Structure formats: C-alpha cells, structure tokens
C-alpha cells in the first residue's frame, strides 16, 4: 500500500530540504490543502514522518489505536547528550514510563482537586494580585513566579520568592536549552546518531561541548529542588507535596528503595518540566487577548462582577455560573499556539493501515494541533479571537462545538496528565485578574498608547 501523500522526495535526503525550521506547523497545514489530505507523509534521511492535520484523523489513530501509537522517538541530542532521557514525556512506551505515569496520576488525580487548589489560591491571591498592585509593569515576571511557584510547591513544597527566585532561575535556564536546540535548527547528531561518539576536540564537535554545558543545567534542575525537599523531610519542616507523599509511601517498603527514589525524583521534576512554561504561555495569551480585545475583557468582567460581587474574590465553584469566562478560557487554549504535541511526537510501534495508506513501523507521528485548532471546518474564521463561538443563543456553553482542550493537551495514552491543573490555574488567574484589575495598554514617553502585537516566538513552547 502507498504511504499518505506528501511533497516529492529526493534520493537519500528525502524531504529534508522541504522542512522549515520555524513555524513548521503552518507549512504542514498548507500542505494539507495542497495535497487534499489530512494525513501526510514526509521522509527525512530515511526516517518516516506522518503528519496528522485534523482532529478526526488524530482521534482515529492516536486515541482509538493508542496501543500502537504511544511510544516516543529518542532524540540523541536531548535524551542522551543533554541527559533528559529521564523525562516522562521523552520516554518510550514501556515499564519505566508506566511507573512514572502511574505515580503522577495517583497523586495528581482530577478527582482530587484538594491536592492543587489550595496552592493555586495561595499563589494567585497571595502573590500575583499583591505583586501586580505594587508593580504592574513587571506583570510578566509576576506571572512567571506565580505559575512556577505553584508547580514548585506542588512538586516539592518549596515556597518561591516573588522576584528573582533561585529555583525558578535554575528551571528557566535548564528548560531554555530545549528552545535553543529547537531554534538552532536540526541537530545533525539526531539524524546520524553515531556522531555522538566523535571526541569533543574534533572540528565539528561543537555540539558535544555545548551539550556538556546544557547537561550540567539539566542535572541541577533535576537534583537541586529534590535534594532540598529531602532535607526538609528529614528536618520535619516539609510542606505537604508530591515528593513528601511519595517518599512516605516508600519508607514502609524499603525493597528497591533506591529505584523508587529515582522514579519519584524524575516524576517530581516533570511537574515543573511539563507544567510551568506551558501554563505560563496560556496565561500570557489570556493577558495578551484582554489587552487586544477590550470589549471581550469588559464582557467577561461584567460576568465576574455579577457572579462574585464586590466583597470577595472568585473561587473555583463560581466557574459553573460564568459561561462567558469559560468560553474565553477555551478560546485561549484554541488560540495559543502551544505546540507541545507537535514537539513531542508519538511513534508508531507497529505497521498500520489507515484509509488504504501504509503507516510504517517506527514512523514519527506528529499531531499538528495548530492545524486542528485553526481548522475552518470546525471553527469559523479561526484566526479571530472569538469566545462567542463556544456559546449557544442563550449564552450557555454549546456542547456541539469541538472543545479545544481535546487537542491542546495531546492524545491517547500520552495525553497530558496535568491538564486539569493547567485549566484551573488559567481559570483562577483569569477570574481573579478580571475581578481586581483592568488590563490596559502601556503608554509611551509622549503619553500615547502602545499598540500591542499578537506575535509568538517559535520554539518548544511558544
Ligand atoms: C497549558 C498547559 C499545558 C499544556 C498545553 C500541556 C500540553 C501537553 C501535551 C500536548 C503533552 C503531550 C501529549 C501527547 O504526547 O499526546 C503533555 C504531556 C505532559 N504534560 Fe502537559 N500541558 C500543560 C500543562 C501541564 C501541567 C500543569 C502538568 C503538570 C502538573 C503537565 C504534565 C505533563 C506530563 C507529565 C506530560 C507527559 C505525559 C506522557 O508522556 O505520558 N502538563 N502536555
């Protein structure tokens, strides 16, 4: 059977020269129109790549056939040379991944909101709002410390500083290396893995010297907060968190304790690794949207004021009475070009057939969530920020409109296990900001309003 359609392939290189290095998802979405197919095939130096450009095809393959589409490909540069192989999201399907995923889900269960809600309230009400009041210009830094603070306190019980927190800095430096790898173009060693053996002093081995520096940052990110949390556990001063709860379970059962400690360490680091930059990007998109669309801000604000009144702050239970704000939050998840599922491709572990096309074993399978969230068959005028698309004529949420969170958080057995935390963080930030502040344009030296753009950087998280 033929592979799905796609651009013509050159001998040896295949489509290597066709693959853009930035905003690839937009090119892939365009190819879907050119080849009249929501499933595409390209090949780069012998590696098969399948691109899924509609929710329907991603749902058919990654959700319904998840038994054979749940593995990951190993990127030599990131997983081996930079040492990130322990990240749950980078692990191939198998026992090591399963152990970490099970541990994560047993603690951060969507049915157990008491695990995360108190920390979200503490940071959003206790840190973000007061910081914004005294220093609104530095809102981006306050958002970063709030979202990072929630993640670090959930994982390690750590309380971060409102500014220049050392743990946030370590995480930022370590995770920033991903973006540097992604934007510096494809790394040759990923295409030709044996290159990893060339000595560092050889010409052309610059990537190895760089990887060594990045490896040290990765190690600090994984070990420093965990070790500090262990010290707090020993001193009896730890605040309840994922690490302390998981370590407690190990103590009574010391068989294989070292192995379990490692699983806990990896999984704790995944809370910040998977949850901070992504949620921050969503929260920043909310602020950007409110800045660009003051009429939407006003409408959402009126709803918040009507439901909450003036004598208290919004609480999670208010969500059910605020359909417009829920629609704003859904639109943020649709609008934000958050391409994690693109950047963490799945791997086909078996040969498969879909609609008469052959999907080769070991093909990298990319769910192009951008194409799905901007699919004009699902969303009228997808380039417009329009929360109303999710509402019916009575202003209630319309269940027949495809919910963007079905795509923004990935698919199948690898679907994001922290999506309930991300969604409730975004909701509480949005409701709390609207209840207490107006988000307005900055002024330049002459007192004129600065027009904001709606632009994103290309990278692992936009
Ligand atoms: C707006 C915020 C977020 C977005 C858009 C997002 C999106 C994603 C996506 C697309 C994946 C890959 C899914 C796939 O392979 O099909 C993923 C994986 C993951 N996310 Fe999230 N995420 C967010 C927040 C969070 C939070 C807050 C946490 C933790 C508290 C988290 C933890 C994880 C973990 C552990 C994985 C790896 C799952 C695995 O490989 O089995 N994420 N996320």
Q: Provide the pLDDT for residue 45.
A: 78
ipTM at complex level? 0.99
Centroid of ligand 1 to alpha carbon of 409 (angstroms):
6
> Residue 340 above 60 pLDDT?
no
In order of 96, 212, 254, 356, the CA distances from 248 in angstroms are 21, 35, 11, 52
Q: What is the pLDDT of residue 461?
A: 64
pLDDT at 197: 81
Measuring from atom 13 of ligand 1, which residue has the nearest CA? 410
Residue 7 CB partners (closer than 8 Å, separation 6+): 15, 18, 31, 35, 42
pLDDT at 364 over 60: yes
Position 67 pLDDT exceeds 70: yes
Q: Is the torsion defined by CA of 104, 105, 108, 114 positive or negative?
A: negative
Model confidence at 339: pLDDT above 60: no
State the pLDDT at residue 249. Answer: 85
pLDDT at residue 341, as a whole number? 46
Mean pLDDT over 335-361 rounds to 84
Contact (Cβ atoms closer than 8 angstroms) between residue 329 and residue 427? yes
Question: Of all atoms in ligand 1, which is nearest to the CA of residue 412?
Answer: 16
Mean pLDDT value of segment 377-381: 95
Is the per-residue pLDDT at 327 higher than 90?
A: yes
| pLDDT of 100 over the 50 cut | yes
Ligand 1 mean position to 359 CA, how many Å? 25
The enclosing H or E element of 372 equals helix 369-373
**Atom nearest to 151 CA in ligand 1:** 30
Which of 13-22, 24-33, 429-438 shows the highest mean pLDDT? 429-438
* Protein residues whose CB sits closer than 6 Å to any atom of ligand 1: 88-89, 101, 104, 108, 270-271, 274-275, 278-279, 282, 338, 340-341, 344, 408-411, 414-418, 421-422
> What is the whole-number distance in angstroms between the Cα of residue 342 and the centre of ligand 1?
12
Q: Which of 59, 274, 422 to mutate to test the pocket of ligand 1 (most atoms within 8 A of CB)?
A: 274
Q: What is the mean pLDDT of the chain?
A: 91
**361 CA to centre of ligand 1 in angstroms:** 25
241 in a known ligand binding site: no
**279 CA distance to ligand 1 middle (Å):** 10
Which pLDDT score, from 0 to 100, does residue 187 have? 64
Give me the mean pLDDT over the 386-407 stretch: 97
Q: For the whole model, what pTM was predicted? A: 0.93
Confidence of residue 37 (pLDDT cuts 50, 70, 90): very high
Which protein residue's CA is at the shortest distance from atom 43 of ligand 1? 416
CB-based burial, 35-54: b 16+ in 10 Å, e otherwise: bebbbbbbbbeebbbbbbbb
Residue 118 confidence (pLDDT)? 97
- Looking at residue 254, its pLDDT comes to 66
Over residues 191-233, the pLDDT tens digits come to 677 778 888 887 777 788 888 999 999 999 999 999 999 999 9
459 has a pLDDT exceeding 70:
no
Query: Percentage of residues in the chain with pLDDT exceeding 70?
Result: 94
Chain CA centroid to CA 420, Å: 13
Higher pLDDT, 79 or 202: 79
pLDDT at 186 over 80: no
């Amino acid at each position: 059977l033929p592979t799905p359609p796609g651009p013509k392939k050159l001998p040896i290189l295949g489509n290597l020269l066709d693959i853009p290095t930035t905003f690839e998802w937009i090119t892939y979405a365009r190819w879907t129109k050119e080849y009249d197919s929501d499933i595409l095939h390209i090949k780069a130096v012998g590696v098969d790549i399948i691109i899924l450009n509609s929710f329907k095809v991603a749902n058919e393959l990654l959700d319904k056939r998840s038994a054979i589409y749940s593995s990951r490909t190993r990127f030599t540069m990131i997983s081996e040379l930079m040492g990130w192989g322990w990240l749950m999201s980078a692990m191939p399907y198998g026992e090591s991944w399963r152990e970490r995923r099970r541990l994560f889900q047993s603690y951060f269960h969507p049915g157990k909101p008491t695990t995360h809600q108190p920390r979200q309230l503490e940071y959003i009400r206790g840190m973000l709002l007061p910081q914004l009041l005294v220093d609104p210009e530095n809102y981006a830094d306050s958002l970063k410390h709030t979202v990072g603070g929630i993640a670090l306190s959930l994982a390690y019980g750590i309380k971060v500083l409102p500014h220049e927190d050392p743990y946030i800095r370590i995480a930022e430096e370590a995770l920033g290396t991903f973006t540097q790898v992604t934007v510096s173009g494809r790394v040759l060693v990923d295409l030709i893995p044996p290159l990893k053996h060339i000595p560092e002093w050889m010409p052309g081995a610059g990537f190895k010297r760089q990887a060594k520096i990045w490896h040290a940052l990765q190690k600090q990110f994984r070990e420093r907060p965990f070790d500090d949390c262990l010290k707090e556990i020993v001193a009896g001063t730890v605040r309840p968190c994922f690490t302390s709860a998981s370590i407690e379970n190990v103590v009574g059962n010391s068989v294989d304790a070292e192995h379990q400690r490692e699983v806990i360490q990896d999984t704790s680091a995944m809370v910040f690794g998977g949850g901070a930059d992504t949620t921050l990007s969503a929260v920043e998109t909310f602020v950007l949207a409110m800045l660009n669309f003051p009429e939407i801000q006003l409408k959402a604000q009126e709803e918040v004021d009507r439901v909450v009144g003036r004598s208290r702050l919004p609480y999670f239970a208010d969500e059910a009475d605020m359909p417009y704000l829920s629609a704003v939050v859904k639109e943020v998840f649709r609008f934000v070009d958050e391409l994690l599922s693109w950047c963490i491709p799945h791997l086909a572990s078996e040969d498969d057939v879909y609609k008469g096309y052959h999907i080769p074993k070991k093909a990298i399978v990319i769910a192009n969530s951008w194409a799905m969230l901007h699919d004009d068959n699902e969303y009228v005028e997808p380039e417009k920020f329009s929360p109303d698309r999710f509402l019916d004529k009575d202003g209630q949420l319309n269940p027949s409109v495809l919910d963007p969170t079905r795509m923004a958080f990935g698919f199948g057995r690898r679907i994001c296990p922290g999506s309930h935390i991300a969604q409730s963080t975004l909701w509480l930030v949005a409701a709390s900001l609207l209840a207490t502040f107006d988000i307005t344009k900055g002024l330049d030296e002459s007192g004129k309003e600065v027009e904001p753009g709606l632009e994103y950087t290309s990278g692992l998280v936009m």
